[in-house]
Amino acid sequence: MEPGTEVRTWLAPAKINLALHVTGRRDDGYHLIDSLAVFTRFGDRLEIEPAEHDEFSVSGRYAAGLPLGDGNLVVKARDALRREAGAQRTPPVAIRLEKNLPVASGVGGGSSDAAAALNGLARIWKLDIDDTSLARIGLSLGADLPMCLKSKPLVARGIGDEVSPLSAFPALGLVLVNPGVAVSTPDVFKALSSRDNAALPPLPPLPLLPKRLEFHAIRNWLETTRNDLEPPARSIQPAIGEALNALKRADAAFARMSGSGATCFGLFETGNVAKRGAIAIRARHPDWFVAATRSMEGSDGEA
């Protein structure tokens, strides 16, 4: 890595839990989940380049209030990877985070940032490290990290660490909406009425032609699933209901809260329909976070 090496940019996509079933609780307090998650083409961005000494900075709409030191997951990811590989192989880097996703909003923003840092630094530093080792380092930083390292359609089980990619899952037109309210994940889990719920039903079988799941089959399957965290989150923050109603009013084919909230998503049959829906919601709620995007396909490469 010579000075002047080209700056590399990495996408930290939003993680959307299309379905999230809470199926139990471990003795250590971690909840067990069964979740179908996808990752979007909209998200935060990381720029990484060689530097004389380590630097970390944050810009963007949601930069305010983010820690710049050891409290930030990106810094923790950098330091964890450096401990794993050794200081001789991990020279100083400047990392700039563009924060486009609302903070603590149910779309895995911090975890996705850290995952992008791990993936990006492994490339920048030319480390010979396999996916299993990266996932182990990621899990030490948070339960969402293993799935965020994949950034492809997947089913996550356990505490989120048992990841099964879905290779034949199509891109979906999505609108993400956050009404600008914060919801505490621990408070949502505390308000959960049942922790031993049924697992996800089997995904619909693949048709012979085409070889990908079709939009209506996915929507119909989602109607048989849940986000078990949505009812307690809505009881804590009624604005989540307003966001869901806004998506339905904009003709979303399906709407649900992601993760522990408060970000909600709407499914739209095409990207253009999603864009029109986002414009309509933004006109009615100019102070909300609203983004039209598409999810990554199962066969998509890295960002």
Is there a catalytic annotation at residue 79? no
Set 15, 76, 150, 152: catalytic member: 15
Which residue from 155, 200, 153, 183 is spatially nearest to 260, judged by alpha carbons? 183
Burial class (CB in 10 A: 0-12, 13-18, 19+), 102: buried
Say which amino acid occupies 91.
P
Catalytic residue among 44, 113, 144, 228: 144
One-character DSSP codes across 77-145: HHHHHHHHH-GGGS--EEEEEE--SPTTSSS-HHHHHHHHHHHHHHHHTT----HHHHHHHHHHH-TTH
Q: What angle do CA 72, 62, 141 make, to 5 degrees?
A: 25
Q: Is 144 a catalytic residue?
A: yes
Q: Which residue has the tokens 């966001």?
A: 243
Torsional sign, CA 112, 114, 120, 126: negative
Question: Would you give the end-to-end CA distance of the chain in angstroms?
Answer: 22
- Dihedral pair phi/psi, residue 95, rounded to 5°: -120, 125
Structural contact between residues 80 and 140, judged by C-beta atoms closer than 8 angstroms: yes
Taking a C-beta distance cutoff of 8 angstroms, is the pair 52, 128 a contact?
Answer: no
| CA 35 remoteness from chain centre | 12
> Which residue numbers are catalytic?
15, 144
